[in-house]
Amino acid sequence: MKLLRQTLLLLRKDLLLELRRHESLMTMFFFGALLLFVFNFSFELTPARVSELAPGLLWLAFLFTGTLGLTQLFEGERGNHCLDALLMSPIDRGALFLAKTCFNIVLMGLVELVVMPLFWILFSLPSWQPLPALFLIVFLGNVGFCVLGTILAAVTLKARARELLLPLVLFPLMVPVILATIRCMEALLRFGELGEALPWLRLLIGFDVIFLTVGILIFDWVVDV
């Protein structure tokens, strides 16, 4: 599939650039870890309450680190009008969208790989057993966040105060992902399995699929004046 080949090509370039400059990854990682400490100071986290609050706190941290990543998403293209270079090339604009979305998902995934265990350690949660399943749910939440986030990052690229505008425009639209991810994580933490949170999972997957297709179709209009 040509779309896939082009997406992987662009993704490889973005990852290589990130490896060279590693601006986004470092800032996102430290910001995530920093938020954990801030949570510790701002909430009275007795072990009993922490497992109840964990989903909300974790997801709040990932939401903000993700937004940080989104605002840096097109920085690599800023120098030498490289965005025009990509738009001029024979690639499908949907591939550009997919590559940028996957890039931010990879960044957020790496941050979560470190921050979640750190959360378990810092707040001494009882069992490590639900962690892999939790990570899968958070990954699905990432996909939803990055899909919509990439579209809106491109839309607000040329706006003034775009770092402020992006979260303002993005967060209200993220309500389904936020609610669904937190409900699923709560069910996993409390009962060890999804159970009655299954409809939330379907909603989350539905959200990801819908806006992935919408993104691929609409991205051509996003980057064109």
Q: Which residues bind other proteins (CB under 8 A)?
A: 6, 9, 13, 16-17, 20-21, 76, 79-82, 84-92, 148, 151-152, 155-156, 158-162, 165, 168-169, 171-173, 175-176, 179-180, 183, 199-200, 203, 206-207, 210-211, 214, 218, 220-222, 224-225
Strand ranges inside the chain, DSSP E: none
| Tokens standing for residue 181 | 């991810």
User: Cα angle at 109 between 104 and 110, to 5 degrees?
Assistant: 100
Toward other proteins, which CB reaches closer, 36 or 197?
Answer: 197
Cα separation, 133 vs 78, whole angstroms: 38
Toward other proteins, which CB reaches closer, 100 or 183?
Answer: 183
DSSP H helical segments within 72-123, as ranges? 82-88, 93-122
Residue whose tokens read 């609409």: 218
Phi-psi region of 45 (alpha: psi -120 to 50; beta: other; left: phi over 0): beta
Task: Report the Cα 64 to chain-centroid distance in Å.
Answer: 9
